[in-house]
Amino acid sequence: MGHEARGRVRREVMADPGPLVEALVGAVRSQVPAYRALDGSRLPEVRAIAAWVLARSLELWVDGGCFTTADLARFRGIGAARAADGRPLPAVLRAYRVAATALLEHLSARTAGLLEPDDVFALARLWLTALDSLSESLYAGYTAAAERLSGDRNRALRDLLDDLVTGRHASAGAVADRTARLGVRLPDPYRLLVAEPDPGGPDPGGSRTGGPGPVRGAVAPEAAAAAAAAALADAITVAPAEAPAAGQTPDACSVLVTARGPRAVLLLPAEAAGALPDALAALHWRGCAVTGEPAEGIPAAYRLAADALDTAPAHAYGATPLLGDADAHVLALLAARPGAAPDRVARAVLGPLLRPDRRHLAEALDAYLDTGSATAAAEALHLHPQTLRYRLRRIRELTGRDPRRPWHRLTFDIARNLAGRPPG
C-alpha cells in the first residue's frame, strides 16, 4: 500500500500546494526570528523555495530516492544568496529543520487512515538522511559567498549599499551582522544622495580626464555614475569606509557608494553633507539628498529621492544642483506617489517656522505669499518694510528656502495650507 498511498497523497497535495506552502512558511516565520522580520519583498522568494522543497521531497518520498547532486547544487546557490543578503546561516539551517518538522506533522494529522506509520517514517528518514548533506551544501555556498564578499571589500561595500536601497535585508540584526563582518558602521541619522548628470551641463560627449569636471558621455552611464559616486565621496568631509584593524570596531561612520544605472548613490552621515552642492556643481551633476533613520528606512529614502529626480522641474534647482527633503516630499505629494505624507511636507518645508515663538515669521511669510511683495506685506501687517525684509531673511536662514524664488514660493504655499494655516 505504501507506494500507492504516497502517490495519492502527493497528487492531492500538489493539486493545490498553496495552503501547505503557507503553513510551512508560517511555521518558519513563527519560530525563526530572522524570517519573522522579513519584509514583503523577500517573502515571495521564501515561498518559492518552500514550494520547490515540498514538491521535491514528496517526489523523492514516493519514488524512494534521495536528493541528487543537482539538488545539492541548488542548495549551495541558496546558501550563497543568503550570505549576500545577510541572513544568518544558523537561522537558514534552522528554517529547514522547522519546515521538515511542520511537513511531517501536517501529513500525520491530515492523512490518518490513509498512510501507514512506515509511510510517515519514510519521509522522516528522507529528511534525517538528507539534512547532513543539505546543511553541508548550504554551508559551502554561504561561506564561499561570504569569503568572496569579504575578499573584495570595495565590491562588498557596493553590494551592501545596493541591498540596503533595494530592501534586500531580512532584519536589523542581519544588517548588523553584515556591517560587522565588513568593519563598517552605518550613519544614523544618514543622508542618502541620488545624483545624475545635469542635462544643462557641458557637452554630453565629453568625458572625465582627471580633476574636477564632467563625469559622463564617453563612458557607459553606469561607469560614469560609479566614477561620480567616488568623486563625490572624495569631495565631502568624511572619508570613505576603511577597514579597521583586526579586533577593532570603526570609530567613525562610513560613506558607502554605488551606482544604480546612470545614477550615483551615496549613503553618508547627515552632518557631512555640507559640501555636496559644490561637489555636484564641480562635476556638472545634480541630485536629491534625503535624511532619515534608521537603516530600515533606506529603501523608502531612495525611492523618494529617485522619484524627485524623475519629476522635479528644471526651475526647482535654481542656483543649487541639490534638492532636499522638503523638495522631495512636495514632489511626491504633487505626483501622488504612494506613501506621500502631507504632514511630512509641512514639517520638511516649514520646519523651524512651526515653533510658537516664531509665529511672527510665519505671519510674515503668509503676508508675503498673499501679496507678492515685501512692501505690500509690511502694510498688511502694519510693519516697517525693513522689518518685513529682515523677517524674510530670517526665514531664508532658518529654512534654506527663499520665498522670492518661484519653486520655493510654491513649496511654502503648499506647506502652509497643509499645516492648517490657510492663506488670508
Whole-angstrom distance, CA of residue 415 vs CA of residue 329: 10
Whole-angstrom distance, CA of residue 133 vs CA of residue 27: 23
Q: Which residues pair with 266 in a beta bridge?
A: 193, 257
- Whether CATH 1.10.10.2840 fits 351-418: yes
| Residue 322: CA count within 13 A, CB half-sphere | 21
Give the CA dihedral 9, 14, 19, 20, nearest 10 degrees. 60
| The pLDDT of residue 205 | 44
Q: Which three cell numbers stand for residue 93?
A: 539551517
Region 115-133: what's the mean pLDDT? Answer: 77
Q: What are the extents of the domains in the chain? A: 2-151, 185-340, 351-418
pLDDT tens sequence across 27-81: 998 898 878 777 666 788 888 988 998 898 888 888 888 888 888 888 888 888 8
From residue 97, alpha-carbon distances to 19, 91, 101, 328 in Å are 19, 10, 6, 46
DSSP 156-218: HHHHHHHHHHHT--S-HHHHHHHHHHHT----SSEEEEEEEE-TTSS-TT----SSSS---SS
| The pLDDT of residue 306 | 94
Kindly indicate the confidence band of residue 212, based on its pLDDT and cuts at 50, 70 and 90: very low
Please name the amino acid found at residue 333: L
Region 134-146: what's the mean pLDDT? Answer: 81
pLDDT tens sequence across 408-423: 999 999 999 888 644 4
Cis before 423? omega within 30? no
Order across the sheet with 285-292: list the strands. Answer: 256-260, 263-269, 190-197, 285-292, 322-323
Please name the amino acid found at residue 367: A
* CATH fold match for the domains 2-151 and 351-418: no
In this prediction the pTM is 0.60
Region 122-128: what's the mean pLDDT? Answer: 79
Q: Is 296 helix (H, G, I), strand (E, B) or coil?
A: helix
Strands 322-323 and 285-292: parallel
- Whether CATH 2.170.130 fits 2-151: no
| The pLDDT of residue 308 | 94
Q: Residue 202 above 80 pLDDT?
A: no
The answer to whether the CB of 283 falls within 8 A of the CB of 215 is yes
For 110, phi then psi, to 5°, come to -95, -10
From residue 143, alpha-carbon distances to 77, 79, 155, 260, 364 in Å are 11, 8, 17, 27, 63
| The pLDDT of residue 322 | 93
Quick one: which H or E segment has residue 94?
helix 89-110
Question: Which residues have a Cβ under 8 Å from the Cβ of 98 and sit 6 or more positions away?
Answer: 27, 28, 31, 32
Closest CA to 329 of 311, 314, 354, 315: 311
Question: Which residues have a Cβ under 8 Å from the Cβ of 397 and sit 6 or more positions away?
Answer: none
pLDDT tens sequence across 259-317: 998 999 999 988 877 788 888 998 889 999 998 877 788 998 999 999 999 999 999 99
Question: Which residues have a Cβ under 8 Å from the Cβ of 242 and sit 6 or more positions away?
Answer: none
Q: Residue 217 above 50 pLDDT?
A: no
The answer to whether the CB of 154 falls within 8 A of the CB of 256 is no
Closest CA to 362 of 300, 414, 412: 412
For 315, phi then psi, to 5°, come to -75, -5
